[in-house]
Structure 1
Amino acid sequence: MQLLTKFESKSNRVKGISFHYKRPWILASLHNGCIQLWDYRMGTLIERFEEHQGPVRGVAFHSTQPLFVSGGDDYKIRVWNYKTRRCLFTLSGHLDYVRTVFFHHEHPWIISASDDQTIRIWNWQSRKCIAILTGHNHYVMSAQFHPTQDYIVSASMDQTVRVWDISGLVKKSKSAPSKMSHNEPLGRVGSPADGFGLSEVTVKYILEGHDRGVNWATFHPTLPLIISGGDDRQVKLWRMSENKAWEVDSCRGSLNNVWGAIFHPRQDLIVSAGEDKTIRVWDLTKRTAVSSFKRDHDRFWVLTSHPELNLFAAGHDNGLIVFKLERERPAFQTSQNQLYHIDKRILRVQDINKPSAGQELLNISKLGSKYAQPRTLSYNPSEKAVLVTTVSQRFVFYCD
C-alpha cells in the first residue's frame, strides 16, 4: 500500500484539522493560537484567524453553512463565518481546555469536550448550552455525534469510552425547539434525575478495556462499530448492539500514545496515528497491520478523513499532511489488443479497437469473505490467467 502525499504545510504544531465538504479546503488549528485555512489543491494559505488566546485544539467545518467552529485552551468556543472571515460569536461555559468541537449533521448543535470533565451540547442558533453531560472523572479528550443515529461517543483520560443516547434531546428539540433553546432549564446528565428517566441524554454504554487514558473514539459510518486509541498504545475495536457493547479486538504495534484512530470510509481498513511519528493502516476484519508510514521527527496529534473523497489528513509537530491511500485509477492490464480491467466489481475483457462494454469474466465481489478494492491486475498470456490483488488477498482466474 502506498501513501500518496497531496499537500504538506509547514507551521506550528497542528492540534485540530477539518476538511471542507465541497471545496478543496482544510482548516488547521495550531498550538500557537492561530487557525489556518488552506487550499490544499493549490497549496496556498487563504486566511488566518487569530482571536483565541492560547492553543486551539479543535476545529470543524459545518456541512452546509459557511461556518466553522473552534475550541481552545482559553475555555472558549468560537463560531466563525469563513465568507465574511470573522468570528460571529463566542460560547462560554467550560471551565478548562476545550479539546474537540463538532457540528451535528442535522440539528443546529455543536458538541464540545473539555478538560473540565464534561461534554456540552450547544444550540448555535440560539447561542445557548442545552445539555451538560457529566460522568467522566478525568479530562474528556474527544466527543462526537454519530453520523446518522442519535448517539454520542466520548473518550476520556479516565480510561473509558462512553456511548450516550441523545434521542430524548432530539425528540424534545423537534416538539418544542423554542422552549428547549430559551426557556427550559439546562439538562444535566449525571444528576439524580437520571434514575427517573427525566434527562434528555443518558449513558447507554461504558466501554472499559484501555489500560491508560483514551485520546480518541469515533463511530463507523455505517456499521455498529467504534474505534478508539489511547495512551496504552492500542487501537481498540468495539461492537454495539441494541442492548450491549463489547470489545472485539485490539490492534497492537504502535510504539507510543495513539492520538487518532478512524475507519476508512470505503474500505475495511483502520487508520491510526500518534506520538510514534507513524501513520498505520490496519485490516479491519483481521486487526492486523497492513502498512505503516513513518516521519523522521514529527509526532502526530490528530487524524481525519474527507467526508466525500479518498483523502486523509494528519496534523503533526510542524504542520499537516493531506494524503491518499492508494491511487484511484482502476486496476487494468493490456495484452495485444485486449484490455483487462475491473469495472464496478466486475472483471471484464474487451477489444481495444471495438467500443463495447466487453465480456464479463468474473464478479470479484463474490470472492473472499469481504470485498476489498483491487490494487493491481496482471494478465499472463501463456497461462491465460488473470491475477488480482487486494490489500490482504490475491486471486487467480483462468480465462479458458
Structure 2
Amino acid sequence: MSAPGALRPRPRPEIEALPRYSKAAGLEQVRWRASSNESTVAPSAAILEAVNLAASHSHLYPSLFGDTLIARLSDRLGVGDDQVLVGAGSLALLQQVLTAYTGPGTEVVYPWRSYEAYPILIGIAGASGVPVALDSQHRHNLSAMAAAVTPQTRAVLVCNPNNPTGSEFSTAEFVSFARSIPGDVLILLDEAYREFATSDVDGVDLLRAFPNIVVFRTFSKAYGLAGLRAGYAITNPAIAADLSSAAPPFGLSAVAEAAACAALTDPAHTDSIVETVTAGRAHLREQLAVRGVESVPSGANFVWIPLGERASALEAACVAQGVSVRMFPGEGVRVTVGERAAEDTVIAAVDALAHNL
C-alpha cells in the first residue's frame, strides 16, 4: 500500500500547466486598496433595499436563467430577450462561451498584455491560446491579431478599454478589424469598463453588423456590485440559444439579480461612480505628468504606469505608504482610481522613490 500522500488524483496536464491569477502585495497591511478595480463608492440605499428583500427569500431558488434581469436588459438595450444571457459575472459567461465553442485542437487569439484571466480560461476550455503583443502605445494591435487567425481559430478575444493598460480602439478601427475576421470565428468583445470609456465603441450597435460578436458587460465596475457577481452577454439569437443549452441552471443568485435590477433603475448612482472615476484618473495622470512619470491615457477606472523593471520598486513603495496596487513584473503598475486619498498616497510613493522612476 502506498504511503499516505504519495498518490493523489491529478487534473488534466493542461490544467496543471495553467498560470495562476496574481494577487496584489501587502493587502493585509495597507489602508487603501487600489489593486482590484473595484468601485470606491458603496451601493445606494435603493440597491441595499433590494438586496435585503431578496436575501429574506434566500430559502428559495432564484429564477432558472435570471429571467427578470434578462427582461430588464433587453428592454434597456433594445434587443430581444433571446439575445441576452446573464450569469455570475461576465467572466463566468466568457468561460461558458469558450467551453461551448472552443476546445482541444482549436485556437483563441487574444491581446497581451490584457486581462490575466484570459489564458487561464482558454486553457480550462482545452484550447490553445495565441497571444498577440500590444503595440508601442499599449493598444491592441488589431491588424496583427487578424493576421494571427488560422483555420484552427474559433475565437478572437478583444478587450475595450483594455485591462490593465486602459487603452482603447475606435469604432472605425474595430469595424476594419471585424471585417477581416471570418464569419465562422467568434469575436469576443469584453466591455467590462465601457461606462468609463472615452472611445465611441458600442458592442451592441456593432452586433447588428457583425452577428459573430459576443459582447460581455458587468455590474462589478460602474454599478459597484463586484462582491455580488453579476454580468451579462449580448449576441445574436442563434449563438445565445447554443450558450443557453450549455448554461448551468440557477447561475445567477437571487440577491445578485435583485441588486442588478435595482442598479439599472438608479442611474444617478452609476453616474456618481463614473464621475468619481473620471476625476480620479485625471488627477492621478496630471500628478504623474508633473513628476515626469509616463502613464497611458485610460478609458477605465484605473491608470497604467508602464515602468518595466522599475514596477516592483513602485509597488513596494506604495505598500510602504499604505496602499496596494497591482504590479505586473517587468511591465508596469495598475492603479485603481476613485479614492483621492489612495491616489495621493501613490503619488507620495512616487515622490519617495525620487529619481528612481
Provide the TM-score with structure 2 as the length reference.
0.27
Q: Which has the higher contact order (CA 8 A, sep 6+)?
A: 2
Larger Rg: 1
Larger relative strand fraction: 1
